[in-house]
Structures are given as C-alpha cells and as structure tokens.
Amino acid sequence: MLRLGAWVRLQWAVLPPCWPPPAAWDLLLVGLGVSGAWIGNLTVLEPYRPFFIGAALLALAFAWRRIFRRAQACAPGEVCALPQARTTYKVIFWVVIVLVLVALLFPYVLPLFY
C-alpha cells in the first residue's frame, strides 16, 4: 500500500505526460515553433480527450487539497513555515486553473472565430 507522500510522487510521475489536453497540444507546438502538415495527426488523440480532462481535474483536486487544507505544524526553516510560500502556491494554483479552463474551453470557443 502506498503512503500519501509516495502516491503524490507517483501521481506527478504519471500525470505530466497527460498534460496538456490534446486540444492545447496544437497551440503548444505552434507556440514552440513546430508546425507542418503532420500537426493534423494529433487529432488522432481526440477520442482520449475525456481521459486527459479527467486526469487534469484529478491533478487539480489533489493540488487544491494540498494547498488549501489546514496547515500542519511546521518546524522553523521549512518551506511550509513561510507565509510567502503558501501565498505563492495559491497564486500559481489559480493561474493554472485559468490555463486549464482555457485549454478545456478552447475547442468550444474556436468555432466562434470562423
């Protein structure tokens, strides 16, 4: 049986390859300068979009639980003892939430521009 700490490490070892969702891969690759006719082949992953969305939302749920639950007692000098670190984690979390929402809504908003 995995302890929670081991589970979180395993989660972050497995989930990052699932991110970003397929709808955002095209935009990410074009942003990195990768383009061409073969980029259309990424639509092959579209049937797996619900699984990627589920993985992203599950990762966000674990992150929310870790960031917003009651702080445990920390020894002086640890990162969790610094209020700036907790504030930074919260700001980064909300930025990621906005990015995930953009990635999730991208396929539905895109047709409005054509």
Nearest Cα to Cα of residue 46 among 63, 29, 22? 22
Total domains in the chain come to 1
Closest CA to 26 of 46, 48, 56, 12: 46
pTM: 0.58
One digit per residue, pLDDT tens: the chain, 114 residues? 445 555 555 555 555 555 555 656 667 766 776 666 666 666 777 888 889 889 999 999 998 988 887 666 777 777 777 778 888 888 999 999 998 898 888 888 888 887
The Cα 89–Cα 38 span in angstroms is: 38
Which candidate, 35, 37, 15, places its Cα nearest to that of 25? 35
Domain of 51?
4-113
